[in-house]
Amino acid sequence: MLKKSVRRSTVLALVALATAGLAVFVVASATASTTKKTASVQVCVLLPDTKSSVRWVQFDAPDFAKALKKAGVTYSITNALNDPQKQKAQAQACLAAGAKVVIETALDNGSAASIEKLFTSSGGKAIDYDRQVIGGTASVYVTFDGKKVGQAQANGIIAAMKANGTYAKKGVVAELWGGPTDQNAFWFKSGNDAVLNPLYKSGAITKGPQQFVPDWLATNAGPMFAQMLVKTNNKIDAVIAANDNIAGAVIADLKARKLPPIPLSGQDATAQGIQYILAGWQTGTVYKYVPLEANAAAAAAVALLKGQKPKATTFRLNGKKKEPTLTLPVEWITKSNYKQLFTQGFLKKSEVCIGEYKQYC
């Protein structure tokens, strides 16, 4: 009778997850006996969308599955498709299935904070993943070093401006930051500012138009950059693009107006971003080795399940409190070092060196 009851509760838990519109990945604990609820969820991973970056589907989801399976804990991994209410429903389904730890990539602070409180108010734990939740109740924030991301982007385009002569002419730099509801966008911007603001102030370069791009979407960035070109009569000499997605929108506008390539940053080391770098349309991209981040967050979740304190290297202010934070390194990728993405298994050569881009490899 016990085994029959367990099977029934397991099915109900999975049905609850499925009806929330989730893609569900559940594995049995390596230490669970046949009489335990082996399909109950211990760790709930909430990913944000599929359009702001390819990383969430191509890297984060499978990397989490691999790390949590290896750790021997049960889990669910879902994507909210840029819908805060869907993400909240996914969190509630996880709780119904017994989850004790949530690893959350926030869509907006309000909904994300409420999700974390759902867990922590019932004795569970929360982890901020890649994006900090202001006002949340997370035990730790696991992320790449956002300020260094922004510094790498800014230093990359300044070097390119010096190489093509526009720096000597006090060239105009436009900036397209990330989504204004994502705290990471402000962290990346702080790195941009640290490098560029002193140069603007000294007159070494000229400050151009600046805007945040809602939801990090290329469909928002494209029209914004088009207006920047109109406003400046096409006098933009370099662009800080917060990620490869936004950089792609800039490139599309430049091509549509038959304008030449200009120094242009990116982030995420996507296959398309690398193709644009090889073709000379994009200067570089910030490489964040996602398995490193997913593994760190999975390890933090396991520690919390065991009642232990997760690893942290520093802290970031979250309101008035100091939130333990684990920051991870980043790297600037250009034509000179892009092949490491293949040797490290982050991208496949067959994804990049195809079609019109094969000639550059």
Domain 2-138+289-329 has what CATH class? alpha beta
Is residue 311 within 8 A of residue 129, CB to CB? The reply is: no
Q: How far is CA 88 from the centre of its chain?
A: 19
Question: How do strand 331-333 and strand 285-287 relate by DSSP bridges?
Answer: antiparallel
Cα–Cα distance measured from residue 117 to residue 131, given in angstroms and rounded to the nearest whole number: 16
Q: How far is CA 190 from the centre of its chain?
A: 17
Fold of 146-288+332-360: Rossmann fold (3.40.50)
Q: Please give the pLDDT value at position 40.
A: 87
Q: Please give the pLDDT value at position 9.
A: 40
Task: Give the DSSP H/E element, type plus range, for residue 277.
Answer: helix 271-279
Residues 6 or more apart whose Cβ sits within 8 Å of residue 109: 133, 134, 135, 136, 181, 183
Cα–Cα distance measured from residue 250 to residue 231, given in angstroms and rounded to the nearest whole number: 15
What letter would DSSP give residue 310? Answer: P
* Phi-psi map region of 175: left, alpha, beta (phi>0 left; psi -120 to 50 alpha): beta
Domain ranges of the chain: 2-138+289-329, 146-288+332-360
Fill in the amino acid letter for 215: D
Distances (CA, A) of 78 to 64, 86, 100, 290: 11, 10, 16, 17
Q: Please give the pLDDT value at position 193.
A: 98
**And the tokens for 310?**
């997760």
Exposure pattern of 312-330 as b/e (b: 16+ CB <10 Å)? beeebebeeeebbbbbbeb
Q: Please give the pLDDT value at position 192.
A: 98
Cα–Cα distance measured from residue 272 to residue 113, given in angstroms and rounded to the nearest whole number: 34
Spatial strand order in the sheet of 238-241: 206-212, 172-177, 238-241
Closest among 126, 17, 10 to 78, alpha carbons compared: 17
Fold match between domain 2-138+289-329 and domain 146-288+332-360: yes
Query: How confident is the chain (361 residues) per 10-residue block, as mean pLDDT?
Result: 40 41 40 40 97 91 98 98 97 97 96 97 97 96 97 98 98 97 94 98 98 96 98 98 98 98 97 98 97 98 98 93 96 98 95 97 94
What does 192-227 look like in DSSP terms, one character per residue?
A: HHHHHHHHHHHTSSEEEEEEE-GGG-HHHHHHHHHH
Is residue 205 within 8 A of residue 169, CB to CB? The reply is: no
Closest among 57, 43, 10, 29 to 271, alpha carbons compared: 57
Q: Please give the pLDDT value at position 33.
A: 29
